Structures are given as structure tokens and as C-alpha cells.
Copies of this chain bind each other. A is one copy, B any other.
Amino acid sequence: MISMELGFVTAILPELSLREILQFASAEGFKCVEVMCWPVGKAERRYAGVTHLDVTAFGPGEANSVHELTAKYNVAISSLGYYPNPLCADPAERDKYAEHIGKVIKASSNLGIGRMTTFVGRDHLKSIEENWSLFQSVWKPLVELAEEHNVRIGIENCPMLFSNDEWPGGKNLAVSPEIWHRMFDTIPSKHFGLNFDPSHLVWQQIDYVRALQDFRDRIVHVHAKDDKTVADLLYRRGVLGLGWHIPKLPGFGDVNWGQFFSALTDIEYRGPVCVEVEDRAFEYSIEGRKQALRQSYQYLRQFVC
């Protein structure tokens, strides 16, 4: 890849088949998509439970079909995505998640994509310290599996702390540079990295430009989402509260995208940048969500084309 490629996360279009998604992406100018690979079934939360590729029985035939589609529409698959909570309190659930992550890794390898994107998860009722040994026991074997299949795992840096039932810890440990350092000290493999999303850093007041420099070797995948602080709610609740910031399309929030892409060029990142739509102002219909992708494309191509 000689430069960055603009794509989107398929979770926002659950009604469409993979073929329809690639067709839409192609028509709108996107060069890649991050394909959702949840197990077939009911979603457990907003934006989850979407299956654009069923990895549970994925062999050479399925791979060929996918390759034909991506070739036909000239749109690449940037990564296979699946975002459960692999450190949740229930051991049976954890095993189920880890097993499916393994399948996604193998499918990514079979397809020659080389990237798998997810959360590390967290037992949200416990402290970071109390989660650490569980983190280690769950993730060491998964990263080893990824190494064997030459797939890089990109952990999204999302706190998963938006509502009272995710309070206090959120459902994903990987939220800050301090924790990322600890993660990579514990599991130093180069196949373990970040799915870097600046929208989660801007409201945590973490300098995403410095973070890109400090973790330049760990950037596996990039999400383009924005987030804005609602001044009146911040006044009422303060940073210890919930809900005082909302996800927005790129350009409609507090991220400085010029500086963000400038830093991406400085660290010589040449990989996918996928728009993730979670802006409720555009979710009234599938047309609205498609419009959200078009709009994001128009905004972002001033920085990546």
C-alpha cells in the first residue's frame, strides 16, 4: 500500500449483504471495509451482533467467493472485526468469545487479510489490577494463535463505558497509553497492537498525536470516528460522570483531523482508515446511515485520497 486507504466499518449497515456493501463502497469511492464477523445470532448491544461474514465454517470455497467479490468491486477487506468482552466475569462466555476470536483469526489468515480487530475486554466490576492475570491467561494463547497464522490483532482503544451497566470500569481495559504499555510489556509480540480510534482519546484528554508517535509500531488498523463534548452536560456531571460526550461523524466533533492525519503520515502509517458511524443524528434510516458514510468520505478525502 503506498498510502492510507479510506474505508468503513460494516456494522452500520446490518441490512445489507457483503456483496451489497462492497457494491455501495465501490460506488461511493471507498477502497476498503472492515467486515463484521459476529457469530450468527442476536446482538447484545447497539452496533454489535452483525455478521457480514460467517467464519464458523470457513474453508477455501468461502474464501474464493469473498475474493471474487472484492475483486469484482475492487474494494479490499481491511480487517475482520468482532468486538465481544473476552474478559467478562462468566468463564463459559469468555471461552465462547475466545473460541470465536480464534475462528476470525483463521478466516483472516485464509483470506490473506492479515488483520483481526477486537477488544481485550474487562470484568467491568473489577479494577485494572484485578483484571490483569485474567488478561494474561486469555490473551497469551490468542496472540500466539495470531502469530502462527501471521495475523496482527488490533485492539480498539474504546473504554466501553457509556451507560450505567458498564460502570465503573467499562468493558475493555485498553483505554490509555499507560495500559497499552502494560499490555505490550506483558505480551510483547509484534502481532499484538492497536485499532487506533482518536474519538475515545479526545474526551479522555489523551493527546492522540503523541500517542501515535509513542505507539507507531503498534498501529494495526485505524478507525475514523469523532466525538464531541456537550458543554452543558459536562458542567452538570463533570468528567467523573457519564454521557457528557457523544459520538459524531468525522469533522463534526473535537478531533483535529488535520493534525491526526499529519501524525499518521509522520509515522509512515500506510494502512486502512475506516469510518465508524455511531452518530445518532444519522441513524433514522438506512438512507441516513448511507448518507453518513458519504458525508464522512467527503470530509476525510481532504486528508486521505
Contact = CB atoms under 8 A, between A and B. Distances in A.
Contacts of A206: 234-235, 238
Contacts of A225: none
Contacts of A178: 236-237, 241
Main secondary structure of the interface of A (DSSP, over half): loop
Interface residues of A, number: 61
B294 A305 contact: yes
Copy number of this protein in the oligomer?
A: 6
B175 A240 contact: yes
B238 A175 contact: yes
A265 B236 contact: no
Shortest 3 CB-CB contacts between residues of A and residues of B:
A168-B168, A204-B238, A252-B262
29 contacts: A2-B285, A2-B287, A2-B288, A2-B291, A3-B288, A127-B164, A168-B168, A175-B238, A176-B238, A176-B241, A177-B235, A178-B241, A204-B239, A205-B234, A205-B238, A207-B235, A228-B262, A251-B262, A251-B302, A251-B303, A252-B258, A252-B261, A252-B262, A252-B303, A265-B281, A295-B304, A298-B305, A299-B303, A302-B302
